[in-house]
Amino acid sequence: MKVIQIDKNDWNRGIDASRKAYHLFGPVTDNNQSMFKQLAPDQYPDMEKPDTIMSPKSVLFPQTEKLLGATLDPTAENHHIMERPETDYSPRAVIGIRPYDARAVALVKLNFDTPEYRDPYWCDAYAATTFVGLAVNQPSVTDFSTAMGSGPFAEEGLDALLVDAGDLYLAKVLTPKGEAFFSAAGFDTVADTDESLEKIEQLKNKAETAMGPLAVFTDKLAQKSILDLHGAPFWEDLAFTCINCGTCTFVCPTCWCFDIQDETKGNSAARFRNWDTCMSPLFTKHGSGHNPRGEKTQRVRQRFMHKLKYFLDKYDSGTMCVGCGRCVEKCPVNIDIRQVCNKMNSYEPQK
């Protein structure tokens, strides 16, 4: 394990040096909110406010993405032939991504990059991206990531992990991509490995202790019957509260629902992929008019069953929740996925 020591006074110089090789993305303050955005040439990641409203999932999965385009001009040789547009997949780096958001990328990859099907848009963006994480020294009260397979200092999905150690960052180099980024930034001061890892472990223990005991349980979900959970009585109560606003799916780092729209203007045609939400009744409405999830209860059940049961059964890689707590914090009617998870985990059907 290689650990690099970065003096914070040298941080901006390294960021500027890395711009020569990477498009940079990072947390910035916009309208008093912390957001992940592509950094302007004179902009630096705000490492003091890395807890963003949204995860950086849009770096790989834009909210609106042009998939195909065609000309409708009959005089053109390739008219009416849909073609993939040219897209810039030169190296990019996401700086300051939290460990739970990096795990979210790893979970989404299971769906977008399978042995049977590879989404070329998501996969090409993923291959171009280096993830430089920032450990969570002070977890929020809604952070339950340690209960969902991640944690404030987790490394899954990261190429490097920065740890704020006061006047400096200790950077664990985890992959060749991470090594290349630090080389481009000129960060090359190797720290004493044993001493640094001991310091990192101390900060990790402090952060995990601050989170306290997390009473969120998933240990029985795999053994539960889908049909039993599907027929559980608590979905009606949950749906009564839910207003189907879709905020939970919008801020979730692992939600990937989308729809496809074709548009024409003049002699141009284009196919777009847009984020969508399973909370919307239109999302599953068929062209015939039939809607398999036309009722609110069906949509609420689908959201939690997908995240906590279907995904777990299909991929055997844990639930599709990373415990970031965004949906808990932003839900306008205080629906708490931690409580739903415990209801599902402990549910026993009446015989």
Distances (CA, A) of 275 to 1, 130, 170, 182, 336: 39, 23, 36, 33, 23
The bridge status of strand 168-173 relative to strand 2-7 is antiparallel
The 3-state DSSP class for residue 300 equals helix
pLDDT score of 339: 97
pLDDT tens profile 125-160 = 999 999 999 999 999 999 999 999 999 999 999 999
pLDDT tens profile 277-302 = 999 999 999 999 999 999 999 999 99
Q: Are 82 and 68 in contact (CB under 8 A)?
A: yes
pLDDT score of 350: 82
pLDDT score of 10: 97
Alpha-carbon span 351 to 349, nearest angstrom: 6
pLDDT score of 167: 95
DSSP one-letter code for 26: E
Residues 6+ apart with CB under 8 A from 155: 99, 102, 133, 161, 172, 174
Low-confidence ranges of the chain (pLDDT < 70): none
